[in-house]
């Protein structure tokens, strides 16, 4: 049975076929020559990447795609100086779009194109840094986008499949599709059910944590997933994101990280009670001077700042730190994390504005 997107494409196919004879007749009259279906479609869809920048842009929905396409087309019209009737491809399109039936056909054609490439159209392509995400403390795990095992047994990323991946990056759906790569075993640890993953998260990842604060966050995240209406779409709360990747010796790790595939906002969370991050030992037994204490505190402070700067530079990762006073209310701390997990893109563009600009460009091109 076809899914809703496939069914929608079929409906658009039927509507386009019904409109096609009249559209071709109208196009022939406007351009004063016979117009084939292939040449018409070539004019309409031949420059999607130029007008809408499909290779780089992410579109929230079809309206967003059409708005971007018209924006690129309008910008090209404005800068080209094309005049309707000069025989250029751009002028021909402006002339064709002055006909409401042809313009309606064009929108349906572009809509079909959008849904035929739906997965690629609605997502950003992440920077290479995020194609392999390494995390963990004693054991090192990897979450890979579009992994492929080579003949020699090594793992590579299939670049051509990154946008086509059927899951949202760094989500539970991603985990269920690829599993975690276990560095020590050179194998993927996979899960048959979400329940299996939750047990792994609880007994392996949470179970090996030595921090009571971390365990509290683990527990609340598990509850968050169990209560979700669409658990596969939820971002993975990544524990111990490793700065040096899969290197055994790791200078920096972040307690928890959210890589949100819907907003492409990347946020790390540090649980930093002063007892473990800014304490100085041996003050009495070693009779440390105030100068020595200040020096140790300075070294610790600089390390924390270097950590923040390095993660921001390498990953574009912002760090939020929960201090002693914050950690007295662990529920509130998780609410901050939850807001990063649940955020979804609210990007909108003004389709009406771009259609008004299209009409203006057509009028201006007719007057030249």
261 & 158 share domain: yes
Residue 22 domain-assigned?
yes
Instruction: Tell me what percent of the residues of the chain surpass a pLDDT of 70.
Output: 88
Does residue 260 share a domain with residue 140?
Answer: yes
pLDDT tens-digit profile of 21-67?
Answer: 999 999 999 999 999 999 999 988 888 888 988 767 778 789 999 99
What pLDDT, on the 0 to 100 scale, is given for residue 298? 64
Rounded CA-CA distance 33/95 in Å is 13
Residues 113 and 139 occupy one common structural domain: no
| Whether residues 47 and 188 fall in one domain | no
Across-strand partners of 54? none
| Positive or negative: CA dihedral 160, 163, 165, 171 | positive
Pick from 349, 159, 176, 136: nearest CA to 257? 136
CA angle 169, 174, 180 (to 5 degrees): 115
pLDDT tens digits along 163-175:
878 889 999 999 9
Same domain, 116 and 134: no
Q: Is the pLDDT of residue 231 over 80?
A: yes
pLDDT at site 359: 84
Do 164 and 282 lie in one domain? The reply is yes
Q: Are strands 266-271 and 253-259 parallel, antiparallel or unpaired?
A: antiparallel
| Per-residue model confidence (pLDDT) at position 360 | 81
Residue 291 has pLDDT above 70, yes or no: no
Domain identity same for 285 and 143: yes
Answer yes or no: is pLDDT of 287 > 90.
Answer: no
**Nearest-5° angle of CA 58, CA 63, CA 65?**
35
Among 299, 301, 319, 298, smallest CA distance to 309 is for 319
Query: Are 274 and 181 part of one and the same domain?
Result: yes
In total, how many domains does the chain have? Answer: 2
In a domain, 139, yes or no: yes
Give domain status of residue 343, yes or no.
no
In-domain check, residue 101: yes
Q: Are residues 165 and 284 in the same domain?
A: yes
325-350: pLDDT as tens digits: 999 999 999 999 999 999 987 545 56
Whether 16 has a pLDDT exceeding 90, the answer reads yes
Is 153 found in the same domain as 18?
Answer: no
For residues 111 and 254, membership in a common domain is answered with no
What's the N-to-C CA distance of the chain in angstroms? Answer: 53
Beta strands in 136-289 (DSSP E): 141-144, 147-149, 155-157, 180-182, 187-189, 237-242, 253-259, 266-271
Inside any domain, residue 24: yes
Tokens linked to 360: 């203006």
Residue 299 has pLDDT above 70, yes or no: no
Q: Is residue 69's pLDDT more than 90?
A: yes
- 333 assigned to some structural domain: no
Q: Which domain holds residue 18?
A: 4-122+348-367
Note whether residue 341 is domain-resident: no
160 shares a domain with 224? yes
Q: Mean pLDDT, the chain, as a whole number?
A: 87
Residue 336, in any domain of the structure:
no
């Amino acid at each position: 049975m076809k899914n809703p997107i496939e069914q929608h494409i079929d409906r658009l196919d039927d509507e386009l076929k019904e409109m096609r004879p009249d559209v071709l007749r109208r196009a022939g009259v406007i351009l004063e020559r016979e117009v084939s279906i292939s040449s018409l479609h070539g004019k309409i869809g031949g420059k999607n990447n130029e007008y809408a920048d499909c290779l780089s842009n992410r579109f929230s929905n079809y309206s967003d795609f059409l708005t971007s396409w018209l924006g690129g087309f309008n910008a090209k019209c404005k800068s080209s100086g094309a005049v309707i009737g000069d025989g250029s491809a751009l002028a021909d399109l402006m002339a064709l779009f002055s006909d409401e039936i042809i313009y309606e056909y064009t929108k349906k054609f572009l809509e079909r194109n959008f849904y035929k490439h739906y997965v690629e159209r609605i997502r950003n392509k992440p920077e290479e840094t995020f194609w392999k995400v390494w995390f963990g403390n004693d054991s090192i795990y990897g979450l890979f986008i579009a992994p492929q095992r080579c003949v020699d047994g090594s793992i590579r990323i299939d670049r051509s499949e990154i946008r086509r991946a059927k899951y949202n990056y760094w989500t539970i759906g991603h985990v269920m599709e690829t599993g975690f790569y276990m560095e020590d075993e050179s194998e993927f640890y996979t899960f048959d059910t979400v329940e299996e993953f939750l047990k792994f998260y609880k007994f392996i990842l949470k179970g090996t944590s030595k921090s009571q604060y971390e365990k509290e966050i683990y527990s609340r995240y598990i509850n968050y997933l169990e209560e979700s209406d669409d658990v596969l779409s939820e971002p993975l709360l990544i524990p111990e994101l490793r700065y040096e990747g899969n290197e055994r010796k790791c200078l920096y790790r972040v307690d928890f990280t959210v890589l949100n595939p819907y907003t492409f906002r990347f946020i790390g969370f540090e649980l930093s009670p002063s007892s473990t991050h800014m304490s100085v030992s041996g003050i009495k037994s070693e009779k440390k001077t105030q100068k020595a204490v200040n020096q140790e505190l300075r070294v610790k402070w600089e390390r924390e700042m270097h950590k923040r700067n390095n993660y921001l530079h390498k990953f574009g990762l912002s760090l939020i730190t929960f201090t002693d006073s914050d950690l007295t209310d662990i529920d509130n701390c998780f609410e901050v994390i939850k807001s990063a997990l649940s955020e979804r893109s609210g990007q909108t563009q003004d389709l009406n504005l771009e259609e008004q600009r299209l009409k203006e460009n057509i009028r201006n091109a007719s007057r030249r």
